Amino acid sequence: MNPQKRFKIFEALSNVTPNPTTELIYQNPFQLLIAVILSAQATDKSVNKATFLLFNKAPNAEKLSQMKLSAIESFIKTIGLYKTKAKNILETAKIIHTQYKGIVPKERIFLEALPGVGRKTANVILNTIFNEPAIAVDTHIFRIANRINLAPGETVLQVEKKLMKSTPEVFLKNAHHLLILHGRYICTARKPKCAQCVIYDLCEYKKKSLV
């Protein structure tokens, strides 16, 4: 895909959603960190339901670090892999509280050292909280990047590197959320809503479908 087409794609997506952001509900950076950890293999909707009660009980790292593991499990038991996630967010809360005085670190190396935090989660925090040009490649972005030939790759990391290199700089900060929202609501895994797509004329998926 040529640079001009990439620019037009992100321009069109930006016109539809000028201020894209996460659909996870949070009140502070620590809450978003916990929500993103919980969101692995889970929908934002299911995470928001669980964290609504959890964050009322423990709105910050200090409060969450003082909770019993069984209590945390009871709040998030509707989420997949909740036992493992409960252990991770409890340990992460303890580290944030004791080592970082309740403040989420802004350096990737420290973020990825936290239990339950991998590259994708770190990218979400760096982008959403610290406004860094980072792209967290989830299932939606991976699908779109390959489907429309925006940044094809066999692995998540390959797609991320291609997107970081090829996305026009003016759109780089918002690219993550623009692509996720487009994939979640329009360019869906099954039966993509091509008739509603603002980038239909620029999409290379329909060309591949005709081959």
Q: What is the mean pLDDT of each run of 10 residues along the chain (211 residues)?
A: 94 96 97 97 95 97 98 96 97 98 97 97 97 94 95 96 96 96 95 94 71 39
Residue 117, phi then psi, degrees to nearest 5? -110, 115
Domain assignment of residue 138, yes or no: no
- Domain assignment present for 184: yes
State the CATH number of the domain containing residue 122: 1.10.340.30
Q: Does 135 fall in a domain?
A: no
* Last residue of one domain, picked from the residues 72, 99, 128: 128
Whether 49 and 102 map to the same domain: the answer is: yes
Does 83 lie in the same domain as 16? no
Q: Residue 31 in contact with residue 51, Cβ under 8 Å?
A: yes
Q: Which of 68, 77, 106, 138 is catalytic?
A: 138
Residues whose CB is less than 8 angstroms from the CB of residue 128 and which lie 6 or more positions away in sequence, other chains included: 21, 22, 32, 177
Q: Tally the domains of the chain.
A: 2
89 and 169 in a single domain? The answer is no
Clarify whether 120 is annotated catalytic: yes
Distance CA 36, CA 24 (A): 8
Domain range enclosing 105: 29-128
Structural tokens at position 203: 């999409």
Structure tokens at 19: 């201020």
> Which pLDDT does position 208 carry in this prediction?
53
Q: Which of 97, 128, 159 is the last residue of a domain?
A: 128
Whether the CA torsion 194, 39, 44, 60 is positive or negative: it is negative
Query: Residue 23 corresponds to which tokens in the numbers above?
Result: 């659909």
**Catalytic pick from 83, 120, 161, 208?**
120
Residues 13 and 37 in one domain: no
Q: Say whether pTM exceeds 0.85.
A: yes
pLDDT of residue 206: 62
Residues 33 and 93 in one domain: yes
How wide is the angle at C-alpha 17 spanned by C-alphas 191 and 34, nearest 5°? 85
Residue 201 CA from chain centroid, whole number = 27
CA–CA gap between residue 12 and residue 174 (Å, rounded): 13
**DSSP-derived secondary structure letter, 180:** H
| Residue where one domain finishes, among candidates 128, 163, 182 | 128
**177 and 101, same domain (yes or no):** no
Instruction: Please report, for the domain that includes residue 181, its CATH number.
Output: 1.10.1670.10
pLDDT at position 26: 98
Active site residue 138: yes
